[in-house]
Chain A
Amino acid sequence: MRISRYFLYIAILIILLTLPFYTGVYFLNVMDIILIYIALALSWDMLLRSGQISFGVAGLFGVGGYAAVLLNLNTGMNPLISIVMGGLAAGILAWLVGMAVLQLRGMYFAIVTLALAEIFRVIIRNLPDLTGGPEGTVLPSAIFAGNSTKTYWLAIAVAVVSVIASELFRRTRIHFALTSIRNDEIVAKSSGIDVFKYLVFIFVITSAIQGMTGGAYAHIYGFVSPEGSFSVDFTLLPIAMALLGGMHSTWGPVVGAVVLGVVSEFLKLQIPYGHLLVYGLIIVITILFFPQGILGTVGQRLKNRQRLRGSP
């Protein structure tokens, strides 16, 4: 059972890796976006598993992008290493913010992260010598000279890293620690879990993934700007995707990202100025009517049916 499942994963990965050989450039671009959003949605959901909610995905995404682009531009660092450094920069920032703010949790943490994107945007706009100010910074050329096959593999690497991180967190002690913190903090504390340490740890890890994703995105498109890199898209879409697919799992956000990623390409053409409206509506409707998302609801149905069949 277990071995066949690994074969399935490997088969999916091989199909994904070989896609460029029999599809067009436009399809690969759409896949890039979907893979980037898979990473963002998963990292957002990983933090949610501890019961903390972050509205700061766009902030850390943008910081990672800026760090990667500026390091590459100013020190001539290899773009791939600079993407990792972008993740590191976002992680360090998250550590600083987390040490200060995670002492009080719940809505305090949520609102502070809601402000993060806005704050980083203001800071970057006010440092024109370093960051290029309001106009942003353009790289001389995109990564791999814009080769769509290689950028696609880069996006796959980012998504796979986040999937592996998410699965690791689900299968180790960390999963139990985070789940018990989410369910009841006092119980978690009295069974010997260092709540604060675990929360800062998971916040730093998820932020590093978001920063790395931001770095990859910035290198794929070859530029960063205060409005583009900290756009509300990068907060709103991952949340809508993870919620729609199903919270607290690895495959829920992935399914949500694939569904909404395809839908968003269509929506951008239909309503170019208001497509974010749809994601807001998806969040509201999901929370109101099926808070467990697609996977959760379908899984529940299947379980119910099995129970009906199983009982004589």
Chain B
Amino acid sequence: MNVFSKLKQSNYQIAIVSVFLAIILASWKPHVLIEGIQRACLYAVIALPMALILGIVGIINLAHGEYMMLGAYFAYFLNVYTGMDPLLAVFPALLAFFLIGIVSYKAIIKYVLDAPELNQLLLTFGLAMVIEQLANLVWTSRPIKLPLKYVSSSATIGSFTFGTYEFIYVGGAMIVLIGLQLFLKRTNTGQAALAVGQNPRGAKLVGIHVDRTYLFIFSLSIALVGAIGAVFMTRHSIFPLVGAPFTMKSFCLIAMAGIGNLMGILWCSLILGLAENFVLSFRGYAGWADILFFALIVLVIMVRSHQRQVK
């Protein structure tokens, strides 16, 4: 295949256009590019566990951001009582939230697996409210932030200075994405999970323990998002409502990428992150950045439904 025929494929055209746009952006507003990538990876790493639950267990977890908020508080109190660094708290958070995931699944989620989608949505919405309001009641709505020195580290290229600590999100997103891909493609459990996601009845017929797979995938996702909460709290101040916007943005990314497309989530979060930071960079219009994801999701739904009608 020569270069020209490759150029005709739409994937390559998109790649070339996006590289071109990135170069223009880097020369015009380098802050937008760097911070946009960092923000995008934060969105991606939060959306990935949600996509895993939606793709395999088939439940849309509206309490997703709330579990992240719990993870952040977990790391905070671990730091207050034992002095453990929040970044190290990722590992106890993984363990603790795996257990929380098991409990949530056994106590609540299991009972609506066969229920209509309406009941699932209402249930996880109620769960989100319970977690949020419980946090509000116990820890009050006062924002909390740890004074950590290393989060404000920065690097300078020429006259341009940017924060380097946030690249931890880029690393985190890569680890989670590659780890999940390897898990799903290379391990027996992962293969079984994929099979269950495609067809639970067929998977049951060939001897896969469907309920146990659901339990494991749900708990794994909750563990991941709890650990992300621990990383999140090193840089951002946390309060009980901090997770709610991430639930909606995560769903927006999943809807854009298509359910079951983990790699696509990364690209879509790049679009969202760059677009948000682009709007934020204009003084006086920064407040409008929060509605971008809504515009994107409406646009995506319109394009999707159009595609479906054309088919």
Known: A122-B290, A126-B288, A273-B136. A53 touches B127 (CB 8 A): no
On whether A287 and B137 interact (CB within 8 A), knowing A103-B305, A125-B287, the answer reads no
Q: How far is the CB of A95 from chain B (nearest CB, A)?
A: 14
With a CB–CB cut-off of 8 A, which chain B residues contact A279?
129
> Does any Cβ of A come within 8 Å of B7's Cβ?
no
Q: Mark A41-55, 1 if CB is under 8 A from B, else 0.
A: 000000010010101
- Given known pairs A100-B302, A104-B305, A111-B248, the reply for A55 and B125 (CB within 8 Å) is yes
Q: Would A126 and B301 count as touching, CB distance under 8 A?
A: no
B304 at the interface (CB under 8 A from A): yes
| Number of B residues with CB within 8 Å of any CB on chain A | 43
Q: Is the CB of B133 within 8 A of A277?
A: yes
Interface size on A, residues (CB 8 A): 42
A230–B130 Cα gap in the complex (Å)?
19
**B119 in contact (CB, < 8 A):** yes
A276 interfacial by beta-carbon distance below 8 Å: yes
Binds B, one of A3-11, A112-120, A249-257: A112-120
Bound state CA distance, A282 and B126, in angstroms? 8
Which of A103, A104, A110, A280 is in CB contact (< 8 Å) with B121? A110
Which residues from 233 to 255 on chain B have a C-beta closer than 8 Å to any C-beta of chain A? 245, 248, 251-252, 255
B-chain residues with CB within 8 Å of residue A110 when the two chains form the complex:
121
The reply to whether the CB of B298 lies closer than 8 angstroms to some CB of chain A is yes
**Is B108 within 8 A of A284, CB to CB?**
yes
**Interface-centre pick from B112, B130, B297 (highest chain A CB count, 10 A):** B130
Residues of B with C-beta under 8 A to A100 = 298, 301-302
Chain B proximity of A138: nearest CB distance (Å)? 22
Residue of A nearest to B302 (CB): A100
Q: Is B271 an interface residue (CB 8 A)?
A: no
Contact across chains for A53 and B122 when beta carbons are under 8 A apart: yes
State which of B108, B123, B128, B251 has its C-beta within 8 Å of the C-beta of A111.
B251
- Contact assessment for B127 and A280 in the assembled complex, using a CB-CB cutoff below 8 Å: yes
User: B153 to chain A: closest CB distance in Å?
Assistant: 32
Contact of A16 with B by CB under 8 A: no
Contacts of B306 in A (CB 8 A): 103
Bound together, the chains give a CA A122 to CA B289 distance in angstroms of 9
| Bound form: Cα–Cα A101–B132 in Å | 28
Q: Are B112 and A108 in contact (CB under 8 A)?
A: no
CA–CA, A4 to B127, complex, Å?
A: 43
Tell me, yes or no, whether B62 is within 8 Å of chain A by CB.
yes
Instruction: Compute how far the CA of A41 lies from the CA of B143 in the bound complex, rounded to whole angstroms.
Output: 33
Q: How far is the CA of A274 from the CA of B140 in the complex (A)?
A: 9
Smallest CB gap from B285: residue in A: A126
CA distance A283 to B137 in the complex (A): 18
- CB A243 to nearest CB in B, in angstroms, measures 7
Q: Which residue of B lies closest to A109 (CB)?
A: B301
Contacts of A106 in B (CB 8 A): 117
In B177-228, which residues have CB < 8 Å from any A CB?
A: none
Question: Given the complex of chains A and B, what is the CA–CA distance between A243 and B287 in angstroms?
Answer: 36
Q: Which residues of A contact B (CB under 8 A)?
A: 48, 51, 53, 55, 97, 100-101, 103-104, 106-108, 110-112, 114-115, 118-119, 122-123, 125-126, 232, 236, 239-240, 243, 271, 273-274, 276-277, 279-284, 287-288, 291
Other than A101-B298, A287-B122, give 5 A-B pairs with Cβ distance below 8 A: A53-B118, A104-B308, A107-B117, A122-B290, A279-B129
Task: Return the 9 tightest CB-CB contacts between A and B, nearest first.
Answer: A283-B126, A280-B129, A103-B305, A274-B137, A280-B130, A277-B133, A284-B126, A126-B287, A276-B133
